Amino acid sequence: MKANNENEEDEKDIRLLKEMGYTQELYRGFSPFMSFTFCFAAINVLTSISLGFNYTLNTGGSKDEKDIRLLKEMGYTQELYRGFSPFMSFTFCFAAINVLTSISLGFNYTLNTGGSSVAIWSWIIGSFFTVLVACSLAEICSVYPSAGSVYHWAGQLVPTRNAPLASFICGWFNFIGNVSGDVVYSSGFASIISAIIVLNGKPPLSISVQVIISIGTVLTWCVINALRIDQQGWLNTLATFSQIFGILIFVTVLFIMIPQHATVHDVFLSTYNSTGFPFIYVCCISILSTLFSFSAGAHLAEETKHASRAVPRSLVGTCLCGAIVGFIYLLALLFAIPNVDKFLKDNKENDDSMSLIIATYRGVIPNRIATMLTTLLVVNLYFSGISSITVTSRIFFSMARDGAFPYSHYLRWIYEGTKIPMGALIFICVIHSTLLSFQLISTTAVTAFLSISTFCLQISYLIPILFRCTISRKIFPLGEYNFGQFGVPIAIISSIWLIITSCVIHSTLLSFQLISTTAVTAFLSISTFCLQISYLIPILFRCTISRKIFPLGEYNFGQFGVPIAIISSIWLIITSFFMILPNQYPITSDNMNYSIFITSGVLFIAGIYWFVSARHWFIGPKRTDSDTIPLLPGHVTNENIPMQRISSEKNKSTSYE
């Protein structure tokens, strides 16, 4: 019966062909399924997408024109090469935060300040608020996607007359935080190499050798950053997959090969307090391990395609992924330590900042595998350092472009061949080499820089978020990426978080000590604190001064934008306060938190520079509401800046009712 039906179908096909004027000359042997598979093989979407992928990423059409037009509306010309795709933006952000390295570097502090349960719950709580801070920054970034990031936003979210001072303070906090963070990465890179040598039964490297390795590492990072931005993109992609691959290896090895696991009760409920302070105080200062530099992608907004939407998504997506990946890695580490008290006592004599993380590897797995895992840690740290230098060069370029430094017209130099801020790269290379050399004089130098970095970065985050939910709450324009009515609440929560952590981080991760070998910790603390403050400033302005006039971009949270900004501001303020507190009791000259003095010293110098000189001529980032004259590309001197722009900035103010 089936054969008869097939014959009838064949005859029908032959008859239809004959009606069209043709005879059946070709063999009709294709079944309907064969016809489908032939068509699917012919279109070959895998090959067609792959062949056109390069064209897709490198041609933006109206989108590229939109990015350039938006930058022009902010008063700047397209000087940097816009070669970052949205995916590259995400991988860059993920490579920059590098939770694998950040958790490992802070593991000593994590265990000694609270133990397993405080570490895991601090990560969960801290990650939640960190995501809110990222949401607040993302909403602002959607409206003002510029290389200056929080520095530029702080100058946009306040009345015109206050813009120079607000951006000057926020910019310096962010710059100090990023510079200190770079030093942490390079110094940590050398210390881990020394630890690998010790793992193989040889004596550790001397301080002078470690300094040479650190400076050489910074030089290689700067050379890599001299490449065109899209040529660096594949490195960030490699770094992202290396980090994910590394986490999988670490977790698999630690869970499978450890002879005895900690119990769920040990990990989530057991505590350890070696600080001498009450347990509640310890819980407050332990939150620092969750804070990481997540605003990296915002500094490359002028080099990212579809920046007003792609960069905000990268900021939020990176924090979410980092929180999840970090939680998994932290669980693996803590389950590998059945008895934290005994573990710390056994390793108490070792003062190296990486000792406990390496002791964890060595205590549960063979020496050869421990060396392999530590080497993988070094690779991830190297990739993270590349991204960190990129971020520092962009904030420095942005400030130099607006004339924030002496001889800014030289420091803002862009190499035409690659469209990279070469002047900024050369300058920060010299600065980093100088700071790293301080270890030859005192091994405690890095500790102080770590604390300063932490504090300054926190403050730089706080400023724009606080402005977003206060001054600019009603005038903030929503961009393409926004949270609508949730924007302000998120900004408020973020501000609260940043204020808290700015204080906590300053004393966390081992503060500056007069006699200590844990120098790297201080640099990290300084970096986190400065970045936190730089985050706070624009967020605070967004939910206060600019609350009513902030224009929502493509990425926004709608009516939730201001509440989020308010919560973020409160968080940043409180945590910033805890950061300047001591982390050992009784307080002595050896365990005193000296980071506040170092931070204050740098800011005091910047303050003198402001009152003596900068306040008379520095007008902050470009504002088109009071100055329609475009900023000239290339070298800019004081003579190039029209006097009417300066006078208009000082005399004109914007209504924020």
Q: What is the pLDDT of residue 625?
A: 57
Give 468's strand partners: 542, 543
For 508-535, write each residue's pLDDT tens digit.
333 333 334 344 455 556 666 777 777 7
How far apart CA 120 and CA 107 sit, in angstroms, is 12
Mean pLDDT, to the nearest integer, of 399-410? 81
Select, from the ranges 98-107, 322-331, 488-497, 601-610, the one with the highest average predicted confidence (pLDDT): 322-331
Span of 5-9, 172-176, 235-239, 552-556 with lowest mean pLDDT: 5-9
Q: Tokens 């003095």 — which residue?
A: 597
Span 368-379, average pLDDT: 82
- Is residue 475 within a helix (H) or strand (E), and if so which, with residue range? strand 468-475
Give the integer Cα–Cα distance in Å for 243 and 334: 19
Alpha-carbon gap, residue 333 to 107, rounded angstroms? 9
Distance CA 550, CA 141 (A): 12
* pLDDT at 293 > cutoff 80: no
E-only strand ranges, 374-465: 459-462
Q: Which residues contact 442 (CB under 8 A, 6 or more apart)?
A: 519
- CA distance linking residue 552 with residue 569, whole number of Å: 19
Please enumerate in sequence order all residues whose Cβ is within 8 A of that of 109, keeping only pairs 6 or more positions apart, or say none: 288, 289, 508, 509, 510, 521
Q: Which pLDDT belongs to residue 102?
A: 76
pLDDT band at 264; cut points 50, 70, 90: confident
Q: Does position 87 have pLDDT exceeding 50, yes or no?
A: yes
**Is residue 177 within 8 Å of 456, Cβ to Cβ?**
yes
Mean pLDDT computed over 371-394? 85
pLDDT confidence of residue 372: 82
* pLDDT for the residue numbered 588: 63
Q: What single-letter DSSP state applies at residue 284? A: H
Question: Which of 545 and 450 is assigned the larger pLDDT?
Answer: 545
What pLDDT was estimated at residue 518?
Answer: 41
Tell me which H or E stretch contains 548. Answer: strand 543-549
For the stretch 572-620, pLDDT in tens is: 777 776 666 665 556 665 556 656 666 677 677 777 777 777 777 776 6
Give pLDDT, residue 647. Answer: 41
Lowest model confidence (mean pLDDT) among 150-154, 483-487, 524-528, 608-612: 524-528
Between residues 604 and 47, the one the model is more confident about: 604
Tell me, what's the pLDDT at 17? 65
**Mean pLDDT value across residues 433-440:** 73
Beta bridge partners of 460: 534
**Banded pLDDT at 651 (limits 50, 70, 90):** very low
Top-ranked range on mean pLDDT: pick from 18-22, 95-99, 585-589: 95-99
Using 50, 70 and 90 to split pLDDT, how confident is the model at 627? Answer: low
Q: What is the percent of the chain with per-residue pLDDT over 90, rounded to a whole number?
A: 0
Mean pLDDT for 375-392 is: 86
Find residue 532's DSSP bridge partners. Answer: 458
* pLDDT value at residue 61: 42
Residue 123: the pLDDT is: 86
Q: What is the pLDDT of residue 519?
A: 44
Q: What is the mean pLDDT of the chain?
A: 73
Q: Which of 29-33, 346-350, 640-644 has the lowest mean pLDDT?
A: 640-644
The predicted model gives 112-137 an average pLDDT of 83
pLDDT at residue 656, rounded to an integer = 38
pLDDT at residue 277 above 70? Answer: no
Give the pLDDT of residue 522. Answer: 53
Whether the link from the prior residue into 586 is cis, omega within 30° of 0, is yes
Across 540-555, average pLDDT: 76
Instruction: Return the DSSP state at 75.
Output: T
Per-residue confidence (pLDDT) for residue 275, from 0 to 100: 63
Mean pLDDT of the 91-95 span: 82
Question: Band of the pLDDT at 654, cuts 50, 70, 90?
Answer: very low
More confident: 238 or 445? 238
Q: What is the pLDDT of residue 11?
A: 77
Q: How far is CA 632 from CA 122, 403, 644, in A?
A: 47, 12, 15
For residue 601, the number of C-alpha atoms closer than 13 Å in the C-beta half-sphere is 9
Q: Is 378's pLDDT higher than 60?
A: yes
Residue 332's pLDDT band (cuts 50, 70, 90): confident
pLDDT reading at 412 higher than 80: yes
pLDDT at 43 over 50: yes
pLDDT class of 28 with cuts at 50, 70, 90: confident
- Listed in sequence order, the residues at least 6 apart from 435 whose beta carbon sits closer than 8 Å to its beta carbon are 179, 183, 445, 449
238 vs 613, residue with greater confidence? 238
What average pLDDT does this structure show over 226-247?
A: 80
| pLDDT at residue number 523 | 55
Q: Residue 237 corresponds to which tokens in the numbers above? A: 């992609």
Determine the pLDDT at residue 512.
35
Residue 197, pLDDT > 70, answer: yes
More confident residue, 163 or 447: 163
pLDDT score of 231: 76
